[in-house]
Amino acid sequence: MAGTTKYQDLGLVNTAEMFKKAMDGGYAIPAYNFNNLEQLQGIILGCVESKSPVILQVSGSARDYANPVMLRYLAAGAVEMAKAAGGDIPIALHLDHGSNFELAKGCIDNGFSSVMLDGSHHPFEENARLTRQVVEYAHEKDVTVEGELGVLAGIEDEVSHEVSHFTKPEEVEQFVAQTGVDSLAISIGTSHGAYKFKVAPGEEVPPLRFDILEEVEKRVPGFPIVLHGASAVIPKYVEMINRYGGKMDDAVGIPEAQLRKAAGSAVCKINIDSDGRLAMTAAIRKIFAENPAEFDPRKYLGPARDELKIMVKEKNENVLGSAGKA
Ligand code: G3H
Ligand code: 13P
Ligand code: ZN
């Protein structure tokens, strides 16, 4: 299809109202990454059944994997599927870790309602310039923009770091004012992937830097903050993967109690990718271990999708606090 697609025509919403309600209500909107049909179905059904608003997010490489044109129709299909399942929930389609203007523009022109420009690996002024450029284009079309200050460790599309650098609260006010962003991702000790900390047996993982978060909240009161790298790396799925032939011995994530605390603060969006991957992989490994002759994709992708739905519901109800807020 030539031309551009407006997200409003797909039945999507931007994140502005979602974040306002989350800020006022003391909960966080879940942002689940997806790249295929089964993930999308699991996320949507989990959010419909728990009556939660949702941000469907897609990284640059996930967009290439799914195909940008296909994605537009998948998102429209997700909206219609939610309605047919009896839940008219707010759904945003968001670019995760956009690395440049062209990518963000391509998403905006193809029906995304929200984009992230992640310039966190650049010096402040360059980060602000790149982010501002995206904000100017996005806001013309009522698309919301997420920026990032501070660096998370771990693997992201085109943005990969060995070590993290915590956000400097004293930079936040100027960044928000200079760029016009609608939300800001900060670095307070989370990281991407399933191996977030190196801990000896019996040792606790280091707590998140809530002192930095509080300082940020003081400097930009009421401004929506985003937490990346926020999977709990759910132990029951790691155990299941290991039991059925996998090898993820040192996988460890953010304790749920810390995520619950963050969700009650100015953190309005919590990003979850790894936990969804773990839930699906655990289900698939179990099927293959117990039924080595199985070769119908529906017989292993179906249970994987169902497990993801369960994970999403539990997360919305017990961690994000977004259940019942649609
Ligand atoms: O933050 C990164 C997300 O987990 C996306 O991962 O680049 O492998 O799609 P990906
Ligand atoms: P996790 O790897 O902790 O799920 O983080 C995902 C994320 O931040 C996507 O942007
Ligand atoms: Zn991220």
pLDDT tens-digit series, residues 121-169: 999 999 999 999 999 999 999 999 999 999 997 654 445 566 669 999 9
Per-residue DSSP letters for 224-271?
-EEE-S-----HHHHHHHHHTT---TT-B---HHHHHHHHTTTEEEEE
Distance CA(65)–CA(67), nearest Å, equals: 6
Mean pLDDT rounded to a whole number for the chain: 96
201 CB-near residues (< 8 Å, 6+ apart): none
Pick from 118, 157, 275 the residue to mutate for probing ligand 1's pocket: most ligand atoms within 8 Å of its CB: 157
pLDDT for the residue 201: 82
Of ligand 1's atoms, which has the minimum distance to the CA of residue 97? 1
Fill in the amino acid letter for 148. Answer: E
pLDDT for the residue 157: 42
- Give the number of residues written for the chain: 326
pLDDT for the residue 305: 98
Quick one: pLDDT band at residue 60, thresholds 50, 70, 90?
very high
Distance CA(56)–CA(77), nearest Å, equals: 13
Residue 44 tokens, joined = 């949507």
pLDDT for the residue 159: 52
Query: Ligand 1 centroid to 96 CA: how many Å?
Result: 8
Of ligand 1's atoms, which has the minimum distance to the CA of residue 273? 4
Pick from 59, 227, 258, 272 the residue to mutate for probing ligand 2's pocket: most ligand atoms within 8 Å of its CB: 272
Q: Which residues surround ligand 3, an ion (CB under 5 A)?
A: 228
Fill in the amino acid letter for 300. Answer: Y
Quick one: pLDDT band at residue 284, thresholds 50, 70, 90?
very high
**Does residue 153 contact residue 164 with C-beta atoms inside 8 Å?**
yes
Query: Ligand 1 centroid to 56 CA: how many Å?
Result: 13
Query: Ligand 3 centroid to 35 CA: how many Å?
Result: 15
Quick one: pLDDT band at residue 2, thresholds 50, 70, 90?
low
Please list, residue by residue across 110-120, b when 16 or more beta carbons sit within 10 angstroms of its beta carbon and e when fewer do: bbbbbbbbbbb
Average pLDDT over residues 1-10: 86
Residue 155 tokens, joined = 């693997």
**pTM assigned to the model:** 0.96
191 CB-near residues (< 8 Å, 6+ apart): 152, 153, 154, 164, 229
Query: Ligand 2 centroid to 127 CA: how many Å?
Result: 21
Lowest model confidence (mean pLDDT) among 109-113, 154-158, 225-229, 233-237 = 154-158
Q: Collapse the DSSP code of 210 into the 3-class scheme (helix H, G, I; strand E, B; otherwise coil) and give the result.
A: helix
